[in-house]
Amino acid sequence: MASLYHSSLPLSPPSSSCHGVLSLAPRTAAPFVCLCRAPPQDDHDAELLGALQSNGNGSLLREQHPASAKVLESGSAELGDGSGGGRRSSQAQLRARDCARRIMSLPMEERVKVLDLLQRDDTALTISDYNDIISALARGGDYDSAVALFRALEPNGVVEPDAHSFAIAVQCFCRKGAPDEAKETLDEMVARGYLPSVAAFSAVVGCLCKRGRVTRAMDVFDTMRAVGSEPTIRTYNSLIGGLCYVGRLEEARDLLNKLKDSPKQTADIYTFTIVLDGFCKVGRTEDAMAIFEDAIRMGLSPTIFTYNALLNGHCKEGNLLKAYDLLMEMCDNDDCPPDKISFSIVLPALLRAGEITAAWKTFKRMEHAGFQADSRALDTLARGLCRQCAADISVLRDAKEVFGKVVAAGHEPVSYTYCLMAQALARGGEVDAAVAILDDMVRKGYALRKRAYTDVVRALCDRSRTHDALRVLAAVITKDFVPGRNAFDALLEELSRQGRWPDAMAVYAAAVKRGVVVSLKRHVKEALARESPARLGVP
């Protein structure tokens, strides 16, 4: 395999002939200054720039610090001499400033260590010093610069990477999300006779498994055991997670069973959670519950991730009442109470299935736990409670509470929710509130359902409030909505009963004009049957 250390990123500063591509000169330049990429921030620390000016390994202005020329030149002409001197001086200053900013982004302990190393001459730097710099870059999150410096080390020269250098590089590749490079580095480390640490092996296995490269992860796992490194539970968890990720659930369960019987490693609750979550995602909640019960029998305490995986599996498979019962069990469990995700899994599923009573109880438990449901779930819950008012008017109070929370949250209820709320209020006798909601809908230009304003008009007529009923009907007609037959019939019936024949004729004419078929004669006959003609004003 080709060496990993041949790189165009060298340890010497740029020359005018290569446009920033540096030549390898590790013994005459400061690698950290050359390899450090520019950080995103624009500010810099004046004291640190001053330290770089006078530390002997970096310079901002050559004329002020001629002794530091070897960092900012690579055998080219003197800065400022000739036609290209000004450009090279600007490049050198920019590189030093980038270096300063990068150092300032490191933690304090690492910053002090790197500054101390930069004050030394390059010939005095050992592989331990380079490892300190690479490690500092890695801890600062600059994995690209750390890898570049690692690759620039001489594999056969005075400064040669050791086992610690390889270990840091492997971790950097894994943090960067480069599993192939991490495995190649690990392979070369073994080929050179170095024994990778368990952490290095585990990191590579985890990085490969996260990207579904389970076959290669198994190769690393086998290599790990072949060289005498005993995998930890973290290694097994990564491998089991990779198997579940690619759908090899039976292999994952077999590996879990081997761990249960192993005298060296014991499966923890996270191992069980990974496997049961894999089964839940493919709709095999019965197998997941069996794994869950195994964990309980082993004396393990389920975590919130374990419960949420089971809740998600039950809801996806349609076992909503099982999910609801498990959630209620969690609410009564002080050791592992549900979190917001738990409620957010069960509540929408119950609403989609029309289990309004269970959804209402879930919502109240959610509020008691200090969590807020999202506006969409509240809107759906309000509609469900309004529908239940047709069978049980006592639910109206709950519907009003949820509807008020939707409005208070700044979320505008949909037109359908408005209409159902108006209907529920009309059925519950709160006619004024129902009229107010209809007025609000008309003002906002919402589409009105015929059933909604018909119920409101009928409720007003039942209370002999024909004037308000006429106003509602007129407001509907003004917005180019055509009222339904039932609304006209309710109003004609009440006007006929009161003997207000001119108003009844006007309503009848409005209905006929809009193509709504109603019968005034029927209402007249019904009124005559109830009262004498003289009393009704009919000749």
Q: In 10 A of CB 86, how many CB atoms?
A: 12
pTM, to two decimals: 0.69
pLDDT for the residue numbered 409: 80
pLDDT digits 0-9 by tens, 200-231: 999 999 999 998 899 999 999 998 888 888 88
Residue with the larger pLDDT of the pair 174 and 113? 174
- Maximum average pLDDT range among 234-243, 256-265, 466-475, 514-523: 234-243
pLDDT band of 262, cuts 50, 70, 90:
confident
Indicate the CATH number for domain 373-473: 1.25.40.10
pLDDT for the residue numbered 327: 94
Mean pLDDT of 509-523: 78
Measure the CA–CA gap between 153 and 24, rounded to whole angstroms: 9
User: Nearest Cα to 256, choosing from 291, 308, 283?
Assistant: 291
pLDDT for the residue numbered 43: 42
Mean pLDDT for all residues in the chain: 76
User: Nearest Cα to 214, choosing from 263, 278, 266?
Assistant: 278
Q: Are 447 and 422 in contact (CB under 8 A)?
A: no
Measure the CA–CA gap between 147 and 133, rounded to whole angstroms: 11
pLDDT for the residue numbered 101: 61
**Taking 80 as the threshold, does the pLDDT of residue 399 lie above it?**
yes
Residues above pLDDT 90, as percent of the chain = 31
Mean pLDDT of 125-152: 82
pLDDT digits 0-9 by tens, 407-426: 888 788 888 888 899 989 98
Measure the CA–CA gap between 415 and 149, rounded to whole angstroms: 63
Residue with the larger pLDDT of the pair 447 and 51? 447
The DSSP code for 157 is S
pLDDT for the residue numbered 114: 65
pLDDT for the residue numbered 442: 80
User: Nearest Cα to 440, choosing from 424, 422, 427, 467?
Assistant: 422
pLDDT for the residue numbered 58: 35
pLDDT digits 0-9 by tens, 67-118: 333 332 333 333 344 444 454 444 444 444 555 566 666 666 666 666 566 5
Q: Is 295 exposed, middle or buried (0-12, 13-18, 19+ CB in 10 A)?
A: buried
Tokens of 430: 């709160």
Measure the CA–CA gap between 61 and 43, rounded to whole angstroms: 19
**Taking 60 as the threshold, does the pLDDT of residue 398 lie above it?**
yes
pLDDT band of 17, cuts 50, 70, 90:
very low
Q: Report the chain's C-alpha Rg in angstroms.
A: 39
Tokens of 285: 């909640």
pLDDT digits 0-9 by tens, 466-481: 888 888 888 877 777 7
Q: Is 222 exposed, middle or buried (0-12, 13-18, 19+ CB in 10 A)?
A: exposed
pLDDT band of 127, cuts 50, 70, 90:
confident
pLDDT band of 363, cuts 50, 70, 90:
very high
pLDDT for the residue numbered 16: 34
Mean pLDDT of 353-368: 92
Q: Half-sphere exposure (CA, 13 Å, Cβ side) for 236? A: 26
Residue with the larger pLDDT of the pair 424 and 522? 424
Where are the CATH 1.25.40.10 domain residues in the chain?
Answer: 95-230, 373-473
CATH class of the 95-230 domain in this structure: mainly alpha
pLDDT digits 0-9 by tens, 315-326: 999 999 999 999
pLDDT band of 488, cuts 50, 70, 90:
confident
